[in-house]
Amino acid sequence: MPQVLFSHVSKSYTAQARPDTLLDINFHVNQGESLAIVGPSGCGKTTLLRMLAGIESVTKGEISIAGKVVNNLAPAKRGLEMVFQSQSLYPHMTVQQNLSFGLLNKRLKRAEIQHRVKWAAKLLDIERFLTLYPHELAKGERQRVAIARALAPQTPLVLFDEPFEHLSGEIRSHLRLELIRIQRQLGTTMIMVTHDHEDAMGFADRMALLSQLDASSHTNLEQIGPPLELYHHPRNIKVASFVGKPKMSFFQAKLTDKANPTSTIALSNGETLSVSADTRHGEEGEYVTLGLRAEHIELASSAAAGQIHGQVIGIERFGSDTFVYLEYQGEQIAFRCDPHQNLPSSSQLALKVSPQVCYLFNHQGVAYPRTVEHLYT
């Protein structure tokens, strides 16, 4: 039985017949699973989490926890804890008192409270902070306290709303790894909301990507699955453009030869490319979008068909990885190159693109089926 189930869940803040925030959300979260809900600002991901927690009401549909519909159940009776983006620690209480407060409300015996506080403090490595107040701690330390407070009640479900939002660099990465370790160790079901795809891909067993509603939307939920599934097999442009860094590069084109397993497209400058996509349900002459990931593009050693030419506009060097940005057809294209490669700024480059690495989307932004899936599994 799933630990959490969203069944045709919608949310509206107005009296309109059509929900304006969340529409027809359907997915489940298994017991012991870690799930990340991701998407751009305003797509409703925090609202969805708050509905699960009981802080927001459900307009339509049902939310179930452990097989029980909880739409009208008070937050305290849902068997979950939540870590808020703002940490929400009580400034007048010590760390130990902050950890104890929720347990006191559960009417646990003093010995059991002391045991759980020590357990949670050890788990998050904050034992040395127990006598300190929140203002005496750094941001990362305060977030550790907030996570420990949520874990101390030992509920089977813990929710996280942007838990790393105010943390930077090494602290953010370290705490994310700690949370992964704790989740694996405890087997607790954890659901995290984040706008950062790196946090989501690093933390979660699966990702659910939401988008903002528009007039043609049937649901906010664009795709749910393992992180690498969304990365390598995006259902549409919204998913492809959100997951990955650098972002996928996109170019407008026309479908000139629909076929299976290889189709032909013409770019706006007349250059033609072969793409390993099944476009038999498309229409020749229709506008399509070509998508390319940075790691799938190579420098061309000699002139040949299937090349893209552009001018270097910027280079990012990250030690083992170097990303080069070119301007092509008024758009920006990124590719990964040898970090030892000497590429002068403003130089003209020819890039090699093989059919197997191209993504193709129809005029509605839906991905055409790929015919070389084995390369990415």
pLDDT at 373 over 70: no
- 368 and 282 Cβ atoms separated by less than 8 Å: yes
pLDDT at 375 over 60: no
Question: What pLDDT band is residue 20 in, cutting at 50, 70 and 90?
Answer: confident
Q: What is the mean pLDDT of residues 270-294?
A: 92
Q: 342: buried, middle or exposed (CB in 10 Å: 19+, 13-18, 0-12)?
A: exposed
Q: How many CA atoms lie within 13 A of 245 on its CB side?
A: 9
Model pLDDT for residues 308-336, shown as the tens digit of each residue: 888 899 888 888 888 999 988 788 899 99
Q: According to the per-residue pLDDT averaged within each range, which of 96-110, 147-161, 348-362 is highest?
A: 147-161
Considering only residues 85 and 367, tell me which one the structure prediction assigns the higher pLDDT.
367
Angle 34-9-243 from CA coordinates, rounded to 5° = 45
3-state helix, strand, coil in the chain (%, to 5): 25, 30, 40
* Res 303: pLDDT: 66
Q: What is the mean pLDDT of residues 84-91?
A: 84
pLDDT at 47 over 70: yes
Q: What is the mean pLDDT of residues 8-27?
A: 89
Q: What is the mean pLDDT of residues 86-91?
A: 84
The partner residues of 173 in beta bridges, in order of sequence, read: none
Q: State what percent of residues in the chain have pLDDT above 90.
A: 63
List, by residue range, all CATH 2.40.50.140 domains of the chain: 245-368
CA distances from 233 to 223, 236, 265, 364 (A): 10, 9, 20, 17
Number of C-beta neighbours around residue 225 at 10 A: 16
Distance, CA of 16 to CA of 28 (rounded, Å) = 27
CATH architecture of 245-368: Beta Barrel (2.40)
pLDDT at 241 over 70: yes
Residue 364's SS3 state is coil
Distance, CA of 259 to CA of 148 (rounded, Å) = 56
CATH architecture of 4-236: 3-Layer(aba) Sandwich (3.40)
Distance, CA of 96 to CA of 321 (rounded, Å) = 44
| Average model confidence (pLDDT) across the chain | 90
pLDDT at 343 over 80: no
- 270 and 224 Cβ atoms separated by less than 8 Å: no
* Res 234: pLDDT: 96
* Res 355: pLDDT: 86
Q: 222: buried, middle or exposed (CB in 10 Å: 19+, 13-18, 0-12)?
A: buried
Q: State what percent of residues in the chain have pLDDT above 70.
A: 97
* Cα separation of the two ends of the chain: 28
pLDDT at 377 over 50: no
Q: What is the mean pLDDT of residues 146-153?
A: 94
* Res 1: pLDDT: 59
- 61 and 52 Cβ atoms separated by less than 8 Å: no
Question: What pLDDT band is residue 174 in, cutting at 50, 70 and 90?
Answer: confident
List, by residue range, all CATH 3.40.50.300 domains of the chain: 4-236
Model pLDDT for residues 90-148, shown as the tens digit of each residue: 999 999 999 999 898 888 899 999 999 999 999 999 999 999 999 999 988 999 999 99
Distance, CA of 71 to CA of 53 (rounded, Å) = 10
* Res 106: pLDDT: 83
H or E element at residue 239: helix 237-242
